[in-house]
Structure 1
Amino acid sequence: MITLGLKNMLYRGICLTFGMAMFAGVAVAAETQLTLPNLPDASKMTAPTQDQLGTLAEGYGLRVGEAMPSFVLQRHTGEPAKSSELLAGGETLLIIFYRGGWCPYCNLQIRQLTESYSQFKQRKVLPVLISADEVDAAALAQSRYEIPFPVLSDPDLSAHKAFRVVMSLTPELYETYKGYGIDVEQWSGRVHHQFAVASAFLVDPKGKVKWAHASLDYKQRPSVAQLLGVIDAQK
């Protein structure tokens, strides 16, 4: 014979088990919402011509000679990353703003930078990647291959705005992106529908911008060879 108290205990146990199962299902669903795209053929990502290299799309980007704004963002591990601490290492920073882990061209660019990291390190240059992805999404990008330099999360766009690289999706484009399986809200965890134009900034150890590039063409990025050439020309 089951007493009323025992019945209540069994009921609470069933509810708890069901709740935990539901929570686990939600957690798994959340983990599987974001998937990294396949990398495109490298030939599909063009490099700017020599006269385009080091130019800024109208209305975008910090100019050469401006001071890098201070920021505090999060690494893909969730730990804070302060601009002052990045500069304290005495290296030149190569700040790369990318659209997000959902962008195949961004992932190709990240792979190329990762594969060439030793050449940047020899020149005492530290690449720093920044996107509007939230921490979990930034960690997903990191999981494709081990990235040996900072991957920073800026879903509230504080650094994006300070560097003047924010691009906004129209409601129509947002729906178009969703039709391709890209929901920028899931990647950023925000509803602002904004991310960065493809851009790069060289910042010296004193915090001054020495070179800048920003393009509205997301398929066009400075190649590693071009970036190394710019770095060498700064010396």
Structure 2
Amino acid sequence: MNAMNSEAAQLWENAAQQMPGEIVEKINTGMQRMIDGETPYSPLAVGQTAPAFTLNNFDGTPRALSEYLAKGPLVLFFFRGDWCPFCNIQLKHYQDNLVEFAKYGAQLVAVSPEKPDHSTVMAEKHRLTFDVLYDVADEVGEAFGVTLRVPSEHEEVLTQLGVPLTERNGTANWTLPVPGVFVIGQDGKIASTFVNPNYRIRAEPEEIIAALATL
């Protein structure tokens, strides 16, 4: 296990020791339901054309997929929100590897269903220098096939822990993206994918760099 996922595993181990057993059981049960496909999703595959989109970044500036691809390949990753500690680890590690991505002419763009005011706080916290886009009602996540309905166990836990997901996302839908990374070539074709319903495991920067090296 590489650095990022090792950090995430340690975080979960520490958190599970501090939380009530009932909550840990609910989290694990919901996770297993996602892994078993009980909350279905169908991510786009390698070779498919990435669907066009235009989304606002956290300061309200519209950004289009075509705009990014005009400059080079794109590393597009979907994350759940500022409230997710595993997403925060991922964002931090990706920011630390921007120079490595840039060696292949690639830009990095993050997409989340969380409203921009939360993204702004997160961007400042991690000193992010790449775009974080607001995916209203998970529409782009749906187009890429990574949106799923939150398991009932996780809905209960998030409510218990004071994470008002619908309020933070600005929608009545209890949906989130499966954390996933799509490496998209300048031709608009998906060159590599890293999508895992186990949100504690994310695409390591080294895996993304290896994918970029094949373009």
Please state which band the TM-score falls in when normalised by the shorter chain: 0.7 to 0.9
Task: Find out whether 1:71 has 2:69 as its counterpart.
Answer: no
Task: Find out whether 1:229 has 2:210 as its counterpart.
Answer: yes
**2:23 equivalent in structure 1:** none
**CA distance in 1: counterparts of 2:193 and 2:154, whole angstroms:** 28
| Unaligned 5+ runs, structure 2 | 12-36
- Does the Cα contact within 8 Å between 1:45 and 1:220 map onto a contact in 2? no
TM-score normalised according to structure 2 size: 0.79
* Aligned Cα root-mean-square deviation (Å): 2.0
**CA distance in 2: counterparts of 1:128 and 1:228, whole angstroms:** 15
Shift of 1:164: 0.5
- The amino acid of 2:171's aligned partner reads R
- The amino acid of 1:145's aligned partner reads H
Shift of 1:41: 7.3
Name which of 149, 160, 172 aligns with 2:141: 160
Please give the secondary structure, in 2, of the residue aligned with 1:157: helix
**CA distance in 1: counterparts of 2:146 and 2:152, whole angstroms:** 19
**2:70 equivalent in structure 1:** 88
- The amino acid of 2:9's aligned partner reads K
**CA distance in 1: counterparts of 2:56 and 2:150, whole angstroms:** 24
Shift of 1:74: 0.8
**2:93 equivalent in structure 1:** 112
**CA distance in 2: counterparts of 1:45 and 1:220, whole angstroms:** 12
| Unaligned 5+ runs, structure 1 | 1-39, 47-56
- Does the Cα contact within 8 Å between 1:45 and 1:105 map onto a contact in 2? no
Please give the secondary structure, in 2, of the residue aligned with 1:106: helix
Shift of 1:59: 4.2
**2:44 equivalent in structure 1:** 62
What per-residue deviation string (whole Å, max 9, x for no partner) do you get for residues 138-180 of structure 1?
A: 2121111221211101122221111000021244531221112
TM-score normalised according to structure 1 size: 0.73
**CA distance in 1: counterparts of 2:187 and 2:52, whole angstroms:** 12
Task: Find out whether 1:177 has 2:158 as its counterpart.
Answer: yes
Please give the secondary structure, in 1, of the residue aligned with 2:137: coil
Number of residue-to-residue matches in the alignment: 184
Runs of 4+ in 1 over 6 A off after TM superposition: none
